[in-house]
Amino acid sequence: MPRVVTLILVILLLLLQYPLWLGKGGWLKVLDLNRQVELQQQVNQQTQARNALLDAEVRDLKQGTEAIEERARSELGMVKRDEVFFQIIGNQPPPSVSAVTESKPVSR
């Protein structure tokens, strides 16, 4: 008889613990939601930093001409009037003599 009572109490204890651990508002669900909140906060911080950079760029474009000029030079390749444009090519070796002599002349 005492063994049956103990078994019934253990089963009741397990039934009471089930919603606490695995139920809709259980600890496992809470831990998962906390992890999702932390990830979303990181995404929000990155977005806020990007928005701050864009806001600064917009203010700079509205207030001064330096930003517009810099953008025109870098993105559109524009130069000022009476300005000479020099393009410096990186560390490329000069063409070899054989490469120059092997090239075929263009017929016209």
Q: How confident is the model at residue 83 (pLDDT cuts 50, 70, 90)?
A: confident
Average pLDDT over residues 27-52: 94
Residue 2 located in a structural domain: no
Residue 38's domain spans which residues? Answer: 29-74
Residue 42 located in a structural domain: yes
Residue 22 located in a structural domain: no
- Using CA atoms, how far apart are residues 60 and 6, in angstroms rounded to an integer? 76
How many independent structural domains does the chain possess?
Answer: 1
Residue 53 located in a structural domain: yes
Please enumerate in sequence order all residues whose Cβ is within 8 A of that of 27, keeping only pairs 6 or more positions apart, or say none. Answer: 20, 21
Residue 94 located in a structural domain: no
- Using CA atoms, how far apart are residues 53 and 46, in angstroms rounded to an integer? 11
**Cα radius of gyration (the chain):** 35
Asked if residues 13 and 6 have their Cβ atoms less than 8 Å apart, the reply is: no
- Using CA atoms, how far apart are residues 45 and 48, in angstroms rounded to an integer? 5
Residue 38 located in a structural domain: yes
Residue 82 located in a structural domain: no
pLDDT higher than threshold 80 for residue 47: yes
